[in-house]
């Protein structure tokens, strides 16, 4: 098993209850800020010590409270990429890469040269980190980690401080760099796009608890849990009343949905992604909501319509329209109804 | 002018050597002790920190003569520690150059300690974490990552420590006395010649002290300037 983690740690006003077992090489942890994601990575790296539990990396136990075992970060062979890269400001690029290396001077300098070449840092070796661009700093930080061949690489929100353009490029660069890395990589982020792009398996966290774990694509397609749906970017979530095996009422939207699939007993919410509505002009059809626009936000590539719910206290319903549809909307005007295709309905607990 | 030249010609230069020697040696001691103490206090819990910080800073806040009084109490050859040092190691503190160094170190130490601690507190803790995950030993981390990152603060602490150690008067005069050629520092010489009414000689020493002080600070700023590229002007 690549990672086998189970531990508790008290953090301010909540307790972090972590449980993650995975064979996957690319694991994502998604959660809002302050939910304990970073603390999880720091516990794996040994920077902080959990109160109780066991942490196993690549079959090696690095922490076990029942056996009073707690390996120092130095002995865990874990690579940790910090959000600000944490390059040593007074050391040159080469010295940064060499910082964690063991062996003779010659061995070290060979390894450093190898890394400089691999990460396209030629000509930058004698510069200080402060003189480098954000992208170059990220490459140095990755080179420094890869130089000593860690068993696991932990990425702690590596892109959240970057502007949109750079973020996209650096994400792609990171994926390429990591593509030939055979070990496990765990990426922690609050951005679903990053997680979706990067990870094969996904753990969703909320307030210190793991909500769900599974294949990333499957969780995005069917989040199963309300918080998971919210974190994977579902904008419209409403409470439901189950009227029968194939019928649910959505009071806040003032509609009743007829489903061909069976609605399980424990479903309490329904989710529809903002892009998944289908505009309908004229007659009302099955499973549709009447449109009453409250406000519109126009972006470069999409328009966001915020619609009134059926009752006053209901949340606005979000409908995001991609550019391709704008022309149709211009011709035909606003639709009278928004249809909810059954396969797009997320049934949530 | 001729009078000044005459004074310079006949000047006993020993206070200069004694002050410089004392300043350099006391600064070296304070440097390592201050950094060590700063590290220890930083690691400690809040209660220990408050107490330790108070004790370590005390010599700076107290009048130097009070510090001198305590040092005399401690090292006098009629006291246990003084007796022990003399009988076991044949070390005399009172009225010796060793006394000069101890007095200057004790008085100047808090400057080093406080500057080093403030500088350590400013370090991005992720640097230390990163160094640990990279497998660097704690000693390596301390000297290769923490101290250089705290460079500007430690440098200014060293400069202040040297200035303070070289100019020390109160505690030195009580513990080491003013023995010409042995413990007579520039500060003590100035006080002595002024008491004799010899203002011109005093003035010559004052100018010498100022030149040395300025020269050293200038030099250290130049040297540290090279390592402080990451500090931006604003």
Residue B149 with chain A: CB contacts under 8 Å: 88-90
Q: Is residue B137 situated within a structural domain? A: yes
Q: What is the CATH number of the domain that holds B59?
A: 1.10.3720.10
Q: Is residue B234 situated within a structural domain? A: no
CA B18 – CA B179 distance, rounded (Å): 11
Mean pLDDT of chain A: 85
| Model confidence at A1: pLDDT above 60 | no
CA A195 – CA A28 distance, rounded (Å): 6
Domain span holding position B28: 2-226
CA A31 – CA A129 distance, rounded (Å): 30
Least confident of A217-231, B73-87, B217-231: B217-231
Confidence at residue B29, expressed as pLDDT on a 0 to 100 scale: 92
Mutation site, B119, B124, B135, interface A, largest A CB count within 10 A? B135
Residues of chain A above pLDDT 90, percent: 1
The answer to whether the Cβ–Cβ distance between A89 and B131 falls below 8 Å is no
The answer to whether the Cβ–Cβ distance between A99 and B129 falls below 8 Å is no
Confidence of residue B225 (pLDDT cuts 50, 70, 90): low
| Model confidence at B4: pLDDT above 80 | no
Q: Is residue B181 situated within a structural domain? A: yes
CA B95 – CA B72 distance, rounded (Å): 10
Q: Helix axis angle, B64-75 relative to B80-89, nearest 10°?
A: 60
| Model confidence at A55: pLDDT above 70 | yes
Residue A140 with chain B: CB contacts under 8 Å: none
Rg value, chain B, Cα: 20
Residue A91 with chain B: CB contacts under 8 Å: 144, 148
Q: Is residue B190 situated within a structural domain? A: yes
Nearest residue in chain A measured CA to CA from B129: A47
The answer to whether the Cβ–Cβ distance between A86 and B129 falls below 8 Å is yes
Say if A77 is an interface residue toward chain B (CB within 8 Å): yes
The pLDDT of A16-24, averaged and rounded, is 85
- Smallest Cβ distance to B131: which of A46, A78, A99? A99
Confidence of residue B226 (pLDDT cuts 50, 70, 90): low
- Smallest Cβ distance to B134: which of A90, A99, A130? A99
Confidence at residue A166, expressed as pLDDT on a 0 to 100 scale: 80
**Is the pTM above the cut of 0.95?**
no
The answer to whether the Cβ–Cβ distance between A46 and B132 falls below 8 Å is yes
DSSP per-residue codes, A310-340: SSTTSPPEEEEEEGGGHHHHHHH-S-SEEE-
Mutation site, A44, A86, A95, interface B, largest B CB count within 10 A? A86
Q: Is residue B83 situated within a structural domain? A: yes
Three-state secondary structure call for residue A306: strand
DSSP per-residue codes, B35-56: HHHHHHHHHS-HHHHHHHHHHH
The answer to whether the Cβ–Cβ distance between A82 and B134 falls below 8 Å is no
Say if A90 is an interface residue toward chain B (CB within 8 Å): yes
- A-B contacts (CB, under 8 Å): 69
The pLDDT of B201-207, averaged and rounded, is 86
The answer to whether the Cβ–Cβ distance between A88 and B149 falls below 8 Å is yes
The pLDDT of A245-258, averaged and rounded, is 88
Say if B145 is an interface residue toward chain A (CB within 8 Å): yes
Residue A90 with chain B: CB contacts under 8 Å: 148-149, 151, 227, 230
Characterise A298 by phi-psi region: left (phi > 0), alpha (psi -120 to 50), beta (else).
Answer: beta
**What is the tens place of the pLDDT at every residue in A85-124?**
888 888 888 888 888 888 888 888 888 888 888 888 888 8
In angstroms, the Cα distances linking A311 to A307, A308, A316, A317, B134 are 12, 8, 10, 12, 57
| Model confidence at B84: pLDDT above 80 | no
The pLDDT of B189-196, averaged and rounded, is 84
What sign does the CA torsion over A207, A212, A215, A221 have?
negative
Confidence of residue B231 (pLDDT cuts 50, 70, 90): low
Quote the number of domains for chain B: 1
Q: Are B112 and B31 in contact (CB under 8 A)?
A: yes
Residue A130 with chain B: CB contacts under 8 Å: 229-230
Q: Is residue B231 situated within a structural domain? A: no
Q: Is residue B233 situated within a structural domain? A: no
The answer to whether the Cβ–Cβ distance between A45 and B133 falls below 8 Å is yes
Q: Is residue B107 situated within a structural domain? A: yes
In angstroms, the Cα distances linking A115 to A7, A156, B195 are 35, 22, 70
Using the CB atoms, write b or e for A278-309: b if 16+ within 10 Å. Answer: ebbeeeeeebbbebeeeeeeeeeebbebbbbb
Tokens of A47: 């920077």
């Amino acid at each position: 098993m690549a990672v086998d983690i189970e531990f508790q740690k008290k953090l301010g006003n909540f307790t972090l209850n972590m449980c993650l077992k995975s064979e996957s090489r690319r694991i994502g942890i998604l959660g809002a800020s302050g939910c304990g994601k970073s603390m999880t990575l720091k516990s794996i790296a040994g920077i902080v010590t959990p109160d109780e539990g066991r942490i196993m990396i690549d079959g090696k136990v690095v922490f076990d409270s029942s056996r009073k075992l707690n390996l120092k970060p130095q002995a865990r062979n874990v690579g940790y990429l910090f959000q600000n890269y944490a390059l040593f400001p007074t050391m040159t690029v080469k010295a940064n890469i060499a910082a964690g290396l063991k062996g003779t001077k010659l061995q070290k300098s060979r390894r450093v040269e190898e890394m400089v070449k691999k990460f396209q840092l030629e000509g930058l070796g004698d510069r200080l980190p402060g003189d480098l661009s954000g992208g170059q700093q990220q490459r140095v930080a990755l080179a420094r980690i890869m130089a000593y061949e860690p068993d696991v690489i932990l990425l702690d929100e590596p892109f959240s401080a970057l502007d949109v353009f750079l973020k996209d490029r650096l994400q792609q660069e990171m994926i390429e760099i990591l593509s030939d890395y055979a070990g496990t990589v765990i990426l922690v982020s609050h951005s679903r796009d990053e997680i979706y792009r990067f990870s094969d398996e996904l753990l969703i966290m909320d307030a210190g608890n793991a909500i769900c774990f599974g294949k990333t694509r499957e969780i995005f397609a069917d989040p199963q849990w309300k918080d998971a749906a919210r974190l994977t970017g579902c904008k419209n979530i409403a409470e439901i009343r189950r009227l029968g095996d194939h019928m649910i009422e959505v009071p806040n939207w003032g509609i009743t949905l007829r489903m061909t699939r069976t609605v399980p007993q424990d479903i309490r919410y329904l989710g529809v992604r903002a892009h998944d509505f289908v505009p309908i002009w004229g007659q009302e059809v099955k499973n549709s909501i009447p449109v009453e626009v409250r406000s519109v936000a126009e972006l470069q590539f999409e328009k966001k319509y915020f619609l009134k719910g059926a009752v006053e206290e209901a949340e606005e319903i979000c409908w995001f329209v991609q550019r391709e549809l704008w022309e149709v909307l211009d011709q035909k005007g606003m639709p009278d109804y928004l249809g909810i295709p059954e396969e797009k309905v997320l049934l949530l607990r | 002018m001729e009078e000044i030249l005459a004074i310079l010609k006949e000047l006993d230069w020993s206070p200069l050597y004694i002050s410089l020697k004392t300043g350099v040696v006391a600064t070296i001691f304070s440097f390592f002790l201050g950094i060590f103490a700063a590290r220890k206090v930083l690691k400690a819990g809040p209660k220990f920190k408050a107490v330790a910080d108070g004790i370590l800073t005390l010599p700076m806040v107290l009048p130097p003569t009070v510090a001198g009084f305590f040092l005399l109490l401690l090292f006098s050859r009629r006291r246990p520690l003084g007796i022990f040092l003399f009988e076991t190691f044949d070390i005399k503190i009172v009225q010796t150059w060793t006394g000069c160094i101890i007095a200057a170190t004790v008085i100047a130490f808090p400057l080093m300690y406080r500057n080093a601690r403030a500088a350590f507190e400013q370090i991005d803790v992720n640097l230390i974490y990163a160094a640990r995950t990279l497998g660097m030993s704690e000693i390596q981390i301390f000297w290769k990552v923490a101290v250089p990152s705290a460079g500007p603060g430690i440098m200014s602490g060293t400069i202040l420590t040297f200035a303070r150690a070289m100019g020390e008067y109160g505690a030195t005069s009580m513990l080491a006395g003013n023995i010409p050629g042995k413990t007579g520092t520039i500060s003590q010489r100035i006080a002595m010649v002024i008491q004799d009414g010899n203002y011109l000689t005093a003035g010559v020493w004052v100018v010498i002290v100022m030149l040395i002080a300025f020269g050293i600070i200038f030099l250290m700023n130049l040297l540290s300037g090279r390592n402080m590229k990451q500090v931006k002007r604003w």
